[in-house]
Amino acid sequence: MSIHLFKRMAVVLTLAAATFAYTQNKAEEALTKFQENYPQEKIHLLFNKDHYVAGENLWFKSFVFEGYNRSNISTTLFVELYDSSKKLLDKKMIPLLKGEGSGSFSLASTLKEDVYFIRAYTTWMTNFSEDFNYLQPIAVYNPASTQKLVADTDKAWSATVHPESGTFVEGIDTKFAVRLHSSGSASSNWNGYVTDSENPDLPVAKFNGFDQNVGLFNLKPQAGKNYQLTVQDEKGKKISIDLPTAVSSGLHLQVESTEKAVKYTIKSKNISTENQPYKILGTINNTLVYKAIIHKLNDAQSASIPADKLINGVLRLTIFDNKENVVAERLCFVQPQTLHIKKPNLDTDLKSEERTKNLINIGKADDFEGYSVAVADAESSTSEEENSLLSSLWLTGDLSTRITKPAQYFVKDSNPQALDALLISEKWKRFEWFSIIAGNYPFIKNKPESYISYKGKVLAQGKPATNSELNLIFTMPDSGTKFHQIKTDASGLFTLNNLVFEDTMSFSYQLNSSDKAVAGSTQVYFQPAFSFVPLRKDLPNSLMMLTDRIQGEEIPAKVAKSVSTLTFDKFINEKITDIEEVKIKVDRKNKTNKLNEELSSPLFKSMNEMVFDFVNDNNMIGGNNILQWLQGRVPGLQISTNGPNTSATMRGGPVDIFLNEMRVDPSQISMISVPDVAMIKVIRGFFAASPGGGGNGAILIYTKRGGITGSVSDNGQSKSLKEMKLKGYDKEEPFNNTIYVNIDQKSLTKDTRSTLYWNPYLPKDTKESTTVQFYNNDDAKAYKVIIIGFDEQDNLLYYNEIVK
């Protein structure tokens, strides 16, 4: 490959309009179509813990990416909880804004100890392989179970061997990645060696495994020799694998990814000229980032792709012959030692004293929209230690094979050789070149809706209400009542699109028709335009196994802490509930006192009054008879009706009735419209405003007047409207970050919380630094702090460190 050609290749990285003299461009055209029409989404979930006990809440923050940016394709995320037999236990529907969402599961206290699975996917993802759904095992402990979870270290393991670029040519020095596979916990202490059949006792290559996943060795094969790989673990177990037979002619692609460039070398032997010229395409996340034409192959040709023209991610280099057959391919990671992520500037005020307030200030960062923040006791483990956002983004989100602890490849001081060996053993499965070149693309059957959509059908007198107007009155949670009018089509159908609400939404409907019989017979049926999709594939094997629990044995320390925390949280929640109930009662009492002051004159007040507030309390009156409603609520009150006459007595004596402080006959009360009632007071015993002293008390009824408002609204909605409910997004349980506010610390048991702070949406303070405030438990001396954020250009801020 000439120097001139290298310069052309470097220009290609910056000039999208560069052209090449090449007979075939089907691969590039197919890739463009795939990229434009079949974008790929992937998911990462951040959990508040990495294990749970039955009865706890599980919180998660979700990130949905299209490639390496947050996705704008999907606005709804489906999250499911399965047990180990693939029984669906619970499911949640979560709204997404710029690819981010959050939710929670309440784990039943009756769950047996076992490994459970969290699955997450979008509607768009159901058009592609299930292998790219997010599927995460979660350990749930329950000391009351008859069986307990332990690490599965006895499962059989196997190994596979992978030559670099998939080719093995005589006389060409070749890297081989050795990949371990196990359904249990794989060993990180293993090694191997290679022998040939002529000298089985003399190793020609030796190596030690990098980690639980992969090892690497080099071998220059000689003609006519057969090679065998032996792999052994620390327990002495051995397996043997035959290496592929080296071929006498072929092409081999070697890649080295450094801080400055991705250097590749093409070595060949006995290559026929009939398959030339060759081309090499480089893609990152299904996007073409590099192209070169090799008109004539030499024995060895090298070129470099400047790293500053690329981004962090998996680079797929593919060599095609002149018929666009793939002849060699290699995955590598761009700049593995320089991850282009932003770090926050932190100013901390941390204390080691138990139950004290701690502060972490996040410095003002350019254009960051907000943060997802989790703080844990440094002695505990987090979900990011197994599979982090970085490993989901750059590795497991695009590779479908199982990788043990993928987060290890993107931490400080990680071994770039291990990641490179891992990628030698992998294949890009988002698409196959031969398939898209042949025009075989995914079949799109499920298109994403914008948030929640419902399809409706209107029937009147049993027939479709075609081209008709339907009035809908929605009662939206936290946003009051809204009126909406829709028109049906020629089949009586309509749609409600782009709805965003939690829990349920109540609404009433009425057909616009002068024909009362038609309007009165109206029926509306709804069908959601969204759906959960059953999991077809089997659940993966767990790294843990169940074994019988011995009665009286000590439970693991981390489980004991979680059990203690569960008891602690229940106690806290009861305290908070009591406090909130007192606050509500006090607030209602204050509002009722204010209403009483507004409506009652001094003469119509008494120390012995009972007040019923219809403005601020939800005192629903059944029917139109106010006196009958009072009879069931006021001790000793009796209401008698004799034809048109109505009388009220209390403790055997007559009771005077006042309407707006004017004495009226009891029979007149039935003429008052119930929604017009603002307040009723019952005076027991002596009442000065009654004629003759009123020793038996009085009933005072006050109607609403201009300016009287309260927490209970009356929208004047016709009672003839028919009511329905629609299912919305699942409501997330609140996480208590202000645990010691308004609570006496001395009344609490030992605080063993591992999650000290959880906030999936911490808004950025635009004027000052953004403050994270949390309370220590009884033991923590250091803290694991996780901070995730994105700016307007989708640059990632990621921080996962221990601070003291």
Q: Is 780 exposed, middle or buried (0-12, 13-18, 19+ CB in 10 A)?
A: buried
- Asked whether 115 and 544 are in contact (CB, 8 A), the reply is yes
Rounded to an integer, what distance in angstroms lies between the CA atom of residue 779 and that of residue 758? 19
Q: What is the model's pLDDT at position 8?
A: 32
Torsion sign, CA atoms 754, 759, 764, 770: negative
Checking if the pLDDT of 714 tops 60, the result is no
Tell me the Cα Rg of the chain: 36
Checking if the pLDDT of 688 tops 80, the result is no
Checking if the pLDDT of 321 tops 90, the result is yes
Amino acid at 353: E
Nearest CA among 306, 268, 78, 236 for reference residue 165: 268
Checking if the pLDDT of 626 tops 80, the result is no
Residue 323 lies in a domain: yes
Amino acid at 576: I
Which residue, of 310, 333, 356, is where some domain finishes?
333
Token pair belonging to 522: 């109206």
Residue 695: count of CB within 10 angstroms of its CB: 12
Of the listed ranges 5-19, 320-334, 630-644, 771-785, the least confidently predicted one is: 5-19
Sequence-distant (6+) residues with CB within 8 A of 507 are: 472, 473, 474, 475, 723, 724, 725, 726
Nearest CA among 444, 361, 434 for reference residue 124: 444
Checking if the pLDDT of 357 tops 60, the result is yes
Confidence category of residue 6, pLDDT binned at 50, 70, 90: very low
Beta bridge partners of 483: 473
Rounded to an integer, what distance in angstroms lies between the CA atom of residue 551 and that of residue 554? 9
Checking if the pLDDT of 20 tops 50, the result is no
Token pair belonging to 607: 């120390």
- Asked whether 45 and 134 are in contact (CB, 8 A), the reply is yes
Rounded to an integer, what distance in angstroms lies between the CA atom of residue 702 and that of residue 571? 43
Helix (H) or strand (E) holding 560: helix 557-599
C-alpha count within 13 angstroms, C-beta hemisphere, residue 24: 18
How many helices (H) and strands (E) would you count in the chain? 8, 48
The distance in angstroms from the start CA to the end CA of the chain is 55
Residue 443 lies in a domain: no
Of the listed ranges 51-55, 107-111, 365-369, the least confidently predicted one is: 365-369
Amino acid at 517: A
Residue 692 lies in a domain: yes
Which residue, of 678, 703, 728, is where some domain finishes?
703
Which residue, of 333, 356, 391, is where some domain finishes?
333
Where in the sequence is the domain holding 461, given as residue range(s)? 452-529
Torsion sign, CA atoms 461, 464, 467, 469: positive
Of the listed ranges 220-224, 300-304, 592-596, 717-721, the least confidently predicted one is: 717-721
Residue 576 lies in a domain: no
Going from the C-alpha of 234 to that of each of 87, 163, 545, the distances in angstroms are 37, 25, 21
Token pair belonging to 727: 């299912």
Q: What is the model's pLDDT at position 13?
A: 40
Amino acid at 89: L
Alpha helices in 292-394 (DSSP H): 389-391
Torsion sign, CA atoms 732, 738, 742, 745: positive
**CATH code of the domain containing 659:** 2.170.130.10
Rounded to an integer, what distance in angstroms lies between the CA atom of residue 301 and that of residue 280? 12
Residue 196 lies in a domain: no
Note the pLDDT tens digit of each residue in 474-485: 766 555 567 788
Cis peptide before 602 (omega within 30 of 0): no
Residue 26 lies in a domain: yes
Going from the C-alpha of 514 to that of each of 468, 511, 520, 717, the distances in angstroms are 12, 9, 11, 19
Determine the longest span between alpha carbons in the chain, in angstroms. 126
Residue corresponding to tokens 């703080």: 375
Token pair belonging to 326: 């793939």
Rounded to an integer, what distance in angstroms lies between the CA atom of residue 690 and that of residue 695? 8
Checking if the pLDDT of 617 tops 50, the result is yes
Rounded to an integer, what distance in angstroms lies between the CA atom of residue 616 and that of residue 211? 65
CA angle (407, 413, 419) in 5-degree steps: 50
Of the listed ranges 263-267, 308-312, 498-502, 587-591, the least confidently predicted one is: 587-591
- Asked whether 418 and 403 are in contact (CB, 8 A), the reply is no
Of the listed ranges 244-258, 436-450, 678-692, 714-728, the least confidently predicted one is: 714-728
Who wins on pLDDT, 432 or 15?
432
Token pair belonging to 103: 């939710």
Token pair belonging to 643: 């034809």
Residue 151 lies in a domain: no
Nearest CA among 167, 159, 108, 114 for reference residue 140: 114
In three-state secondary structure terms, 632 is coil
Looking only at the bridges linking them, the beta strands covering 51-53 and 134-141 are parallel
Of the listed ranges 55-59, 449-453, 568-572, 755-759, the least confidently predicted one is: 568-572
* Chain Cα centroid distance, residue 646: 62
Going from the C-alpha of 610 to that of each of 327, 592, 640, 695, the distances in angstroms are 90, 11, 21, 16
Token pair belonging to 523: 């029926």
Residue 621: count of CB within 10 angstroms of its CB: 16
Residue 227 lies in a domain: no
In three-state secondary structure terms, 135 is strand
Going from the C-alpha of 698 to that of each of 39, 312, 408, 658, the distances in angstroms are 74, 81, 78, 8
Nearest CA among 306, 397, 499, 503 for reference residue 70: 397
In three-state secondary structure terms, 738 is coil
- Asked whether 46 and 56 are in contact (CB, 8 A), the reply is no
Which phi and psi angles does 105 have, rounded to 5°? -120, 140
- In the chain, the number of structural domains is 3
**CATH code of the domain containing 470:** 2.60.40
C-alpha count within 13 angstroms, C-beta hemisphere, residue 493: 6
Over the chain, what is the mean pLDDT? 87
Note the pLDDT tens digit of each residue in 499-545: 888 888 888 888 888 788 888 888 888 889 888 999 999 999 888 99
Of the listed ranges 72-81, 112-121, 552-561, the least confidently predicted one is: 552-561
Maximum mean pLDDT: which of 159-173, 260-274, 529-543, 679-693: 159-173
Who wins on pLDDT, 784 or 740?
784
